[in-house]
Amino acid sequence: MEVEPCLGMEKPTFLIEYPARFAALARRKPGHPEVAERFELYILGMELANAFSELTDPQEQRQRFIEDEQARRAAGKTAYPSPEKFLTELATMPEAAGIALGIERLVMLLTDAASIDEVVAFTPEML
């Protein structure tokens, strides 16, 4: 059985303090570098929102990309080129954080829709 469909079934559930290695673009939590400043909100087994504080340290981000690339190669997956332009611009980025709220998912919850296709203006197949 998967965990995600069971999250937030009785009340809204926030998953917090993700392991930093699973939060590729999120800043590490001060005083607790093993976790990232990241959370997800689940309601009735559905991820409704996720959020994180942006990692703006280009050296740390480069190291994470290197580690991810090593893991990809060890797994026999296709290599990705290093995102040098992103890493260069990252040095000028101010501290930031954001949250992505799935409006269609919220409408699904409010209307008791069984599928996201019931609440979107158009499905990917219609494009």
Q: Does a structural domain hold residue 126?
A: no
C-alpha span between 103 and 15 (Å, rounded): 19
Q: Does a structural domain hold residue 89?
A: yes
C-alpha span between 116 and 65 (Å, rounded): 33
Q: How much is the mean pLDDT over the chain?
A: 92
Q: Does a structural domain hold residue 82?
A: yes
Q: Are residues 48 and 99 in the same domain?
A: yes
Number of structural domains (the chain) is: 2
Q: Are residues 52 and 72 in the same domain?
A: no
Say whether pLDDT at 59 is over 70.
Answer: yes
Q: Does a structural domain hold residue 110?
A: yes
Q: Are residues 76 and 109 in the same domain?
A: no
Alpha-carbon distances, residue 93 vs 58, 82, 121 (angstroms): 10, 19, 35
Q: Are residues 3 and 52 in the same domain?
A: yes
Q: Are residues 49 and 86 in the same domain?
A: no
Q: Are residues 24 and 65 in the same domain?
A: no
Q: List b or e across 68-93, with b for residues whose CB sees 16 or more CB atoms inside 10 angstroms.
A: eeeeeeeeeeeeeeeeeeeeeebeee
Q: Which domain holds residue 85?
A: 59-93
The model's pLDDT over 1-44, given as tens digits with 9 standing for 90+, comes to 577 888 999 999 999 988 998 898 999 999 999 999 999 999 99
Q: Are residues 11 and 42 in the same domain?
A: yes
Q: Does a structural domain hold residue 27?
A: yes
pLDDT band at 95 (very low <50, low <70, confident <90, very high): very high
pTM of the model: 0.79
Q: Are residues 20 and 77 in the same domain?
A: no
